[in-house]
Amino acid sequence: MEVHVLTRGTDARKFALELGAKSAQGPYDLPPVKLDSSIIFAPVGDIVPKALEGLAPGGTLALAGIHLTDIPSLNYQDHIFMKESHQR
User: Would you state the pLDDT for residue 77?
Assistant: 79
CA distances from 7 to 18, 26, 49, 70, 83 (A): 15, 5, 15, 19, 27
* Cα separation, 24 vs 5, whole angstroms: 5
pLDDT at 87 over 50: no
User: How does pLDDT run across 39-52, given as a tens digit for each residue?
Assistant: 999 999 999 999 99
* Confidence band for 65, pLDDT divided at 50, 70 and 90: confident
pTM: 0.83
Please state, as a whole number, how many other Cβ atoms lie within 10 Å of the Cβ of residue 28.
Answer: 13
User: How does pLDDT run across 5-34, given as a tens digit for each residue?
Assistant: 999 999 999 999 999 999 999 999 999 999
Domain parsing of the chain, residue ranges: 4-80
Q: Which CATH architecture has domain 4-80?
A: 3-Layer(aba) Sandwich (3.40)
